[in-house]
Structure 1
Amino acid sequence: MFNLFKDQFSDVIEWDEFRDDMIFWKWRNNEVKKGSKLIIRPGQDAIFFDQGKIEGIFKEEGEYEVESEIVPFLSTLKGFRFGFNSGMRVEVLFVNTKEFTVKWGTKNVINIPSPSLPGGIPIRANGTFQFRVLDYVKLIDNVAGVKNSYLVEDIRIRISAILDQLLMKWIAREGKDMFNLQANSFEIGEGIKEDLDMQVNRDGFEITRFNIMSFNYPKEIQDMITKSASHGMIGDMQRYKDVSVTDAIASGNSQGGNSATDMAGMMMGMQMAKEMMKDSDEKKDSDSSSKQQPATNNQQTTNNANIPNFCPNCGTKTGGMNFCGNCGHKLT
């Protein structure tokens, strides 16, 4: 009795071992039996397909009766009726609908051509990229048709295989500043994103974002970049020496036995004293000039006050002059 009805036992079509790192999973039974149920969990789509052709896509989470709620919506199988001894031969693919985030890093050192270094500048880089499933038809035709599952690691390996070449292409393009690549990381990342998207789009995937977190130079080159940046901030080498000596004196790290440092400190001290004396002399001259000007003005006002309006000798109007314009009489 058991052997006669064993194929009539209903199935539950579900992805019960749902994994965050799995992009899709194919339900392994080849035949959907009468009374079967479909369970769709959050973050999943269920695709019914037969011989590579999609029959129906179901996205709403929940539990469904296959015979009454699924079959009527299948494109070419909507007229199917479950017989007593037969089921429906169809495959079911569960797709993880979330956007995946993947860390990446260069597999090898990339030598970027540079006029400064004949052998090129060796660099490494790292960051993240995001992708998701975009086209279920392409996914089934090119990937799911021959695989039962597909992992995020599979995509990461595929991207890593071409990433070094794309980095070299977009870094060398348009003459980027090889010693300040981080400043151009967004533009470089956008170019790489476009190229990667074309690579994976044919299989139904989409690169939604590509980020470059850092570029890493060999220690010798990084030290040179750091030193060059510090010199640029100082302005010139003489200024750099002056600041270095000043810092040493201020911090108390200059050693008494170092005659060069002591002499430099004395010279800087004398120069500072000279500047202070110069400023003091200029201030004194300014104050003296300010004091003398009012005295002169006061004296001129006093003298003008002693001149009579009319000449006492001839009676002619003086006009504030020291001598009479008519008779020449002295008025003060």
Structure 2
Amino acid sequence: MGIKNLFHRQLSTVIQWAGDDGDFWYKYPSKHDEIINASKLIVAPGQGAVLVYEGEVVDVIEEAGSFNLKTDNHPFFTNLVRLRQGFESEHKLKIYFFRKTQVLNQLWGTAAPVKLIDKQYRIPVELGVNGNFSYRMADARLFLAGITGGREEYSTSELSEVLADRIVQNIITELHQADYSYVQIDAHLDAMAGALKQKLAPVFQQLGLELADFRIMGTQFDEATRARIGRIADVTSDAQAAQGAGMTYAELEKLRALRDAARNEGGLAGAGVQMGVGIEMGRQMGAVSGSAGRNGAAQTTDEELAQRLRRLKLLLDEHVITQDDYEQMKRQLLLKS
């Protein structure tokens, strides 16, 4: 090394960080961690700096500005007397810059579905959840001691990935404790997010960070779960429709089976099945053909008429009878009421 280069290395310098949105933690590059006396440290808005001198944190700068540094590495002298030791000084000053502004809208999500028992349908379900969170530096000393592990750089993407893993562990617990059903969970996402933010805040604090915002953006049930619940919902809807028409779900299913068999030319004897449909339908309709008329002893009440009309409409909707059958039987009901 020429004497010119040697002296140039010991001249005071400007120390600053041109960080971008992808950076969170950055060590100022100095070959032997020798910062020259009277060097100028510039901390830009939205940045902070940690000064580690001879192995100890001596200062944390959180306000923007220009600062003059004083160290034991006097210009020229140190390197000259350390010529035979590779120009390395025993006095070390490491400068770490960090981002103070919020890291916004970092995505998290369950890598695998969460397995639950739906409290309403009492069936196993598999649920995926996703959202985003925002955080900022809260305690640079704690972050340096507990997270960086001597690393010189930490990107927001790397840090967010570590944090997202911790979030998922907590949300699995929250989902089990909240015990929302398939039809309830989307209406309670805000409440769950608020509860999770409170639970996660201490986790972030232990890392020297502050959880500024936490949101659950959506849920995804697996296809098998959706199919099972869809079938249950269909049965429930059919049972309610049958009940409104004065029938049981079993009676409705029996009519459907007879109807389907009658349509299957390769199945049971078509005429016989059609007769079976007619007999079952007649039994269901009851007084359509057997009720007394206006001068009879058994007058049909308005409530009974309304129920029979609902039952007749259900048979039409299920395609057990045709539109012509419906109109004809409806007229009979109205005439005999």
Q: What does 1:1-332 correspond to in 2, within 5 Å?
A: 1-16=3-18, 18-29=19-30, 30-50=33-53, 51-60=55-64, 62=65, 64=66, 66-67=68-69, 71=70, 82-86=74-78, 89-100=92-103, 101-114=105-118, 116-117=121-122, 120-223=124-227, 225=229, 236-238=240-242, 260-263=321-324, 265-266=326-327, 270=331
What code does the residue aligned with 2:160 have?
Answer: R
TM-aligned CA deviation for residue 35 of structure 1: 4.7
Name stretches of at least 5 consecutive residues in structure 2 with no aligned partner. 79-88, 246-251, 253-309
Q: Is the 8 A contact 1:123 1:217 kept in 2?
A: yes
The change in CA–CA distance for 1:58 and 1:125 in structure 2 (over 3 A counts) is closer
Which residue in 1 is equivalent to 2:301? none
TM-aligned CA deviation for residue 145 of structure 1: 5.0
Name stretches of at least 5 consecutive residues in structure 1 with no aligned partner. 72-76, 279-332
Q: Is the 8 A contact 1:43 1:96 kept in 2?
A: yes
TM-aligned CA deviation for residue 126 of structure 1: 0.8
Q: Is the 8 A contact 1:54 1:137 kept in 2?
A: no
SS at match of 1:31: coil
SS at match of 2:321: helix
Count how many residue pairs are aligned between Structure 1 and Structure 2.
252
CA distance in 2, matches of 1:85, 1:267: 114
Of residues 129-138 and 216-225 in structure 1, the stretch that sits farther from structure 2 once superposed is 216-225
The change in CA–CA distance for 1:58 and 1:175 in structure 2 (over 3 A counts) is closer
Query: TM-score scaled by structure 1?
Result: 0.62
TM-aligned CA deviation for residue 223 of structure 1: 4.8
The change in CA–CA distance for 1:139 and 1:163 in structure 2 (over 3 A counts) is closer
Query: TM-score scaled by structure 2?
Result: 0.61
CA distance in 2, matches of 1:207, 1:178: 29
The change in CA–CA distance for 1:104 and 1:180 in structure 2 (over 3 A counts) is same
Q: Is the 8 A contact 1:126 1:214 kept in 2?
A: yes
Same amino acid, percent of matched pairs: 19
The change in CA–CA distance for 1:178 and 1:13 in structure 2 (over 3 A counts) is same
Of residues 120-129 and 84-93 in structure 1, the stretch that sits farther from structure 2 once superposed is 84-93
Higher Cα Rg: structure 1 or 2? 1
Q: Kindly report the root-mean-square deviation, in angstroms, between the aligned alpha carbons of the 2 structures.
A: 3.8
